[in-house]
Structure 1
Amino acid sequence: MEMHAFGTLNYIVLLVYLAAIMMVGMYFAKRQKSADDYFKAGGRIPGWAAGISVFATTLSSITFMSIPAKAYTEDWTFLLGQYIAIIILPFVFIYYIPFFRKLNLTSAYEYLEKRFDVRMRLFASLSFMLFHIGRIAIITYLTALALMPFIDISPLTIVFLIGVLCIVYTFMGGIEGVIWTDVIQGIMLSAAAVMIFVMICFNVDGGMTEIFRLSAEADKYFPADKMAWSWSESTVPVLMIGFLFASLQQFTASQDVVQRYIVTDSIEETKKALVTNAKLVACIPVFFFAVGAALFAYYNQHPELLPENFNTGGILPFFVISQMPAGIAGLIIAAIFAASQSSISSSLNSISACFTSDVYTRFGGEKSPEQKLKVGRLVTVTAGVLGVIASTYLIMSNESELWDAFNSLIGLMGGPMTGLFMLGVFVRRANANSALLGVVVAVATILWVRASTDLNFFFYGVIGTLVVVLVGFITAPLFKNSHSDEEVKALTI
């Protein structure tokens, strides 16, 4: 395939964006006086900004490119899963947000020690940290891989631009810098999706009407065969169940989202954050799928513009580089960088919060706020470097088929964590040993299912969550509870 020159103007636009993000990190660096500032922003974040940050954090560059590709090659069924996050918000509002606000936690996993014991805290925290170091590597690698065929920037340079700059501005600005850069990046992502769709509409004969007519004619919205139940395929019922448990994991047990609950100055602002996120989830993903439909219509009318044996997974960056005006193309590529950086910077700060709170502060003598801040920044750099090294290794070894395998591990790690929080919050009879047994059985069950069956990976999170809750409930009478009834009552609903 012919490499398209990125062009001077596009380079300028991309570099201006990267410089602006660095300046945001530098601006908030002066406010980072203690670990509370670095991980909680001193409660200075307004709810609407925290909401945009949650949206940007959960939308990676791979999502930004893969959703249009899926709508282009397949259908819109994955759109239904996006709305599950909205459905669970009342549940999160009523039960989890008051809990996290009341306990004033830095790490969400502090709760698991209060409710069970230090083993459960360390299991969840270490699982989160390892998963997110891997997530940083995968997102950086796949972003570089997706852009490499279309722009004259080497993949290692892309890894450097994404990874190293994330480390620098997260190191300087803490969670406050991360959230405000997320705001910029979230707005860029949303504006880019709308802009691309509008521009393609002007280039398709018949405009928007023709775009949606062609998709309907090709049965690319919600095909009837995707409505049936399946144990192995990602049909609509499977997607709905899988996304339900994945959303529960994100909003109740994942530090990168839960951390946003404690950066505002009141519970009302925290709830406003999730309402803002819900509004964005309700609107923006539709545009990503509409972009895929528009690309389908455009290349149906202009098939000669697609190279022979083209890999349609890169259809969005290919269109941006080959068809959009200079400057605008640079802005869209900057938005792809933004999608990657928003996810990575959130992972870096959350890993740092977990290690500082769950390992460094938890063990040993009393630590000063300044010591916690110093260690938090050191962990930010260490986690970022490990992610960059891992993504560099993936590029050099030309690994493939990583994303599906990595997604399947969300159920392995995320399911038991979600189950632990659910068990702790709702099951008073549960205790530390029944929770531990639940985790062991859940992990063993998922590993067996993954190795011995063709069950769809969306079920892994379901299995992990439910097995922990059921085993923890059933086996609780076999073990003595180390906490008093009053302590348990204060930590449960």
Structure 2
Amino acid sequence: MEMHAFGTLNYIVLLVYLAAIMLVGVYFARRQKSADDYFKAGGRIPGWAAGISVFATTLSSITFMSIPAKAYTGDWTFLIGQYIAILILPFVFMYYIPFFRKLNLTSAYEYLEKRFDIKMRLFASISFMLFHIGRIAIITYLTALALIPFIDINPLTIVFLIGVLCIIYTFMGGIEGVIWTDVIQGIMLSVAAVMIFVMICFNVDGGMTEIFSMSAQADKYFPSEKFAWSWSESTIPVLMIGFLFASLQQFTASQDVVQRYIVTDSIDETKKALVTNAKLVACIPVFFFAVGAALYAYYTQNPSLLPEDFNTGGILPFFVISQMPAGIAGLIIAAIFAASQSSISSSLNSISACFTSDIYNRLGTTKTPEENLKVGRIVTVLAGVFGVLASTYLIMSNESELWDAFNSLIGLMGGPMTGLFMLGVFVRRANANSALAGVVAAVASVLWVRSTTDLNFFFYGVIGTLVVVIVGYLTAPLFKNTHAKEEIEALTIQGQN
């Protein structure tokens, strides 16, 4: 594999970006006077900024690089998932956001204690924290792994630049700093995708028309065979179902996204956040797939530019480093760092919010806002250090095949968490013990399916969610509900269940 010198100008651009992000954290550090500032930004975030933050949070650097690679080697079928995510947003706004806003939650999992009991709150919160520490490690590791073959930067340096600097600005700026850096990073990602596509268009004989024509001739959009049903392959029907439940998990049960619902000063601003996110999701991912199509056309016309036995998973950074002008290449690599950091910083602040709200505040006497702020910052650092150490271990041990295995575990914990919120919001007869029975059954079911069948991992979240709801509903009459009727009605959707 050919190694390309990153170049002085590219280094300057990358370092300027990293310095700018650090300055954002420094600027917002002066506003962090209490836990409410650190985790909720005092309600000062405008809806459009919260929406860009949601978009940037859910789009990691791995997505930024893997979607063009998927369109290059395969087809566009995964684009379906982006629009499924848009379709569930009205449902989220109608049924979930009113609860989160009305209860003035710091951690989304506070709802589960109010609706069920402390066991359900701790299960969901601890599952979220462990998952996101692992996610920090995986995103950092795979970002470094993707860049190593193409730029002359030591992988541990990449881990440091992504992880340690992210810890610092998240520690200083809290959720307000995280969201405003997300805005910068989200814009960088969008501009980078458009910039790459336009630049390739100028380098392909026949331009944009030829790019889309070549993909059509190769049947690289939505091949007819992908519309068939399959239990083991990621065909379009499977993707639609899988992304539906994955999006539900992300927008109803994941603290890093749910936290954006409470950083604005009104429910109307929260609505603007979802609308802004929907607009971005509708437009920007198309450019990522278009970049893959453009790369396919470019390297089909110029096959000699690809090294022998090239790993096409790194096609995007390879093109950026080898073909784009100095300075512009540095800006694109900075965008890859941005995608990684936006996901990691959100995870850090959300882990801190969960630990402080769900665990620390429940120990001993009532804590002051200043004590919560101090603990929140300490947890931010510890979570980041654990994530960086784990990613360093993965690099040193040269682990492989982690991302698919990690994605499959989303269904193990994410599915039951989604089911818990769904059970609580929609099933009035459900109680703490029936919810526990549902969670145990769901985890056991997903583990059994994962170990004994070749079922596609997109179904894991479906199984985890539905088993919690079904078992929680059926077993509810077996247990006494300890909550008053009025309390249950205030925490559920009105209607007969």
Q: What interval of TM-score do these two structures reach, taking the shorter chain for normalisation?
A: over 0.9
The offset of 1:419, in angstroms, is: 0.2
Aligned to 1:189: 189
Superposition pairs of residues 379-390 of structure 1, within 5 angstroms: 379-390=379-390
For residues 204-228 of structure 1, the C-alpha deviation after alignment (integer angstroms, 9 at most, x for no partner) is 0000000001000000000011000
- Structure 2 CA distance, aligned partners of 1:299 and 1:316? 12
| Inter-partner Cα distance in structure 2 for 1:272 and 1:181 | 19
Structural mapping, 1:204-223, within 5 Å: 204-223=204-223
Whole-angstrom CA distance in 2 between matches of 1:203 and 1:128: 45
- Determine whether 1:148 maps to 2:157: no
Write out per-residue CA displacement over residues 83-142 of structure 1, whole angstroms, 9 at most, x where no aligned residue.
111100110111111110000000000000000000000000000000000000000000
Counterpart Cα distance in 1 of 2:324 and 2:489: 60
Runs of 4+ aligned residues of structure 1 deviating over 2 Å after TM superposition are none
Q: What is aligned with 1:261?
A: 261
Per the alignment, residue 102 of structure 2 pairs with 102
Matches within 5 A, 1:164-203: 164-203=164-203
Do residues 376 (structure 1) and 394 (structure 2) align? Answer: no
The residue matched to 1:483 in structure 2 has which SS? coil
- Give 1:362 shift: 1.7
Which amino acid letter does the alignment assign opposite residue 403 of structure 1? W
Partner of 1:9: 9
Query: Does residue 80 in structure 1 map to residue 66 in structure 2?
Result: no
Please report how far the alpha carbon of residue 358 of structure 1 lies from its aligned counterpart in structure 2 after TM superposition. Answer: 0.1
Aligned AA for 2:353? A
The residue aligned with 1:53 is: 53
Task: Give distance in 2, aligned partners of 1:232 and 1:480.
Answer: 41
- Give the Cα separation in 1 of the matches to 2:115 and 2:70: 42
Indicate the SS of the match to 1:83: helix
Distance 2:145 2:129 in 1: 24
Q: How many angstroms apart in 2 are the aligned matches of 1:406 and 1:182?
A: 24
Distance 2:364 2:206 in 1: 69
Give secondary structure in 2 for the equivalent of 1:407: helix
SS of the residue aligned with 2:362?
coil
Structure 1 range deviating more: 32-41 or 483-492: 483-492
Shift of 1:363: 2.1
CA shift, 1:303, in A, is 0.2
Separation (CA, whole Å) in 1 of partners of 2:4 and 2:203: 20
Q: For residue 419 of structure 1, what is the amino acid of its counterpart?
A: G
2:82 is matched by which residue type in structure 1?
Q
Q: Distance in 2 between matches of 1:77 and 1:341?
A: 27
Structure 2 counterparts to residues 94-133 of structure 1, below 5 A? 94-133=94-133
Q: State the percentage of identical aligned residues.
A: 89
1:43, CA displacement in angstroms?
0.2
How far the C-alpha of 1:376 sits from its partner, in A, is 0.1
How far apart are the structure 2 equivalents of 1:400 and 1:76?
25
Output the amino acid matched with 1:478: L
C-alpha deviation, 1:486, in angstroms: 1.0
Which residues of 2 match residues 93-492 of structure 1 at below 5 A? 93-492=93-492
Distance 2:481 2:137 in 1: 40
Q: What code does the residue aligned with 1:219 have?
A: D
Task: Give 3-state SS (helix, strand or coil) of 2:395's partner.
Answer: helix
AA paired with 1:58? T
1:335: Cα distance to partner?
0.1
How far is 1:180 from its partner?
0.1
Distance 1:413 1:190 in 2: 31
Segments of 5+ residues of structure 2 without an aligned counterpart are none
Distance 2:76 2:491 in 1: 42
Residue 287 of structure 1, CA deviation: 0.1
In the alignment, the residues of structure 2 paired with residue 385 and residue 330 of structure 1 have an alpha-carbon distance, to the nearest angstrom, of 27
CA RMSD of aligned residues (A): 0.3
Mapped partners of 1:23, 1:35: distance in 2:
21
Which AA in structure 2 matches 1:93? F
**What amino acid maps onto 1:254 in structure 2?**
S
* Distance in 2 of aligned mates of 1:63 and 1:314: 12
Residues 380-435 of structure 1: CA distance to partner in whole angstroms, max 9, x if unpaired? 00000000000000000000000000000010010000000000000000000000
Cα drift, residue 2 of structure 1:
1.6
Q: What are structure 1's unaligned runs of at least 5 residues?
A: none
**1:193, CA displacement in angstroms?**
0.1
Residue 475 of structure 1 aligns to a residue whose secondary structure is: helix
1:364 to partner: Cα distance: 1.5
Letter in 1 for 2:306: L
**For the residues of structure 2 that align with 1:364 and 1:167, how far apart are their CA atoms?**
28
Structure 2 equivalent of residue 40 of structure 1: 40
- For 1:22 and 1:50, the matched residues in 2 are separated by 20
| Deviation of 1:244 (Å) | 0.2
Residue 31 (structure 1) aligns with: 31
Scaled by the length of structure 1, the TM-score of the pair is: 1.00
Rounded Cα–Cα distance in structure 1 between residues aligned with 2:93 and 2:398: 44
Secondary structure at 1:455 match in 2: coil
The superposition leaves residues 421-458 of structure 1 with CA deviations (integer Å, 9 ceiling, x where unpaired) of: 00000000000000000000000000000000000000
In 2, Cα distance between the equivalents of 1:90 and 1:133? 30
Amino acid corresponding to residue 342 of structure 1 in structure 2 = S
The amino acid that maps onto 1:365 is: T
Q: Deviations over 1:41-72 (max 9, x none)?
A: 00000000000000000000000000000000
The amino acid of 1:163's aligned partner reads: G
For 1:324 and 1:307, the matched residues in 2 are separated by 17
